[in-house]
Amino acid sequence: MARSDDKPSTSSHSRDFNARSEDIPAMSVNDEDYSSYLTLVASLSGDSSDDEDLNQAIIASLENQIAEKVPVQEILLELSSKISTKQQCKFNINRSAVWEGALRGFQRLSYDPNLMICVKFSDDMGKNEEGVDLGGPRREFLRLLMDTIARSAMFEGKENCKNLALDSTALRGDWYYISGRAIAVSLVHGGPPPNFLSPTVFSLLVGNSANPALEDIADLELFEKVRKIL
């Protein structure tokens, strides 16, 4: 068990995610660079070929910087190093209603992803489980949360190869955004990665092109129609 004042580190699950994602491109242009670029472009005259050449040169320079790649492990370690162990965000979680507890926690105005998550589990009667969160309850909560998201109506398809589905309730409640935040929090706070995503969704999330496969179609009737056409 890790002590509550230990710095969080990426778990073995996160290292698996890193190995799968080592070539993820990352933005390396800061806000000041981009602001300067916009200011400069706004002052250029569209009638001047010299100005147009300068404009193209600036764009090419920015594209070269954007193309730089940063290892995922380095990104996760940098983010985890910013987590404060002196302050905590408390989550009260009922094991039979993990998603509802996560929603309450993430939607609180006081929630801060840079604070250590402290989890207290309770049963259906509201009785708290004994023990202090030294890291185990937090990891258990994140594991249960990833399982809950994977089994939700927001995703469809085979186990460990799921694609996004359109769910009106989730759309109205902004649950897709909250799920994305939960996945990011799990990665940074030492929880499991979203191993349930299909290669197509994973590729799109990391900014690469994707070639959807026939198996990505979860609707059996549509699957058969497309298979016959192919």
Condensed to tens digits (0 to 9), the pLDDT of residues 164-215 reads: 999 999 999 999 999 999 999 999 998 999 999 998 888 888 777 778 888 8
In the chain, % of residues over pLDDT 90: 29
Task: Tell me what pLDDT residue 29 has.
Answer: 47
What digits encode the pLDDT tens for the residues 85-140?
888 888 999 988 999 999 999 999 889 989 989 898 887 555 665 555 556 889 99
Highest mean pLDDT, choosing among 3-12, 20-29, 32-41: 32-41
Measuring CA to CA, which residue among 176, 177, 89, 85 is closest to residue 141?
89
What digits encode the pLDDT tens for the residues 215-229?
888 888 888 998 899
Q: Which residues contact 141 (CB under 8 A, 6 or more apart)?
A: 91, 93, 98, 102, 117, 119, 121, 191
Identify the band that residue 141 occupies on the pLDDT scale cut at 50, 70 and 90. very high
**Helix 175-188 vs helix 72-81: angle between axes, to the nearest 10 degrees?**
90
* Whether the predicted pLDDT of 37 surpasses 70: no
User: What's the rounded Cα separation, in Å, for the pair 51 and 34?
Assistant: 18
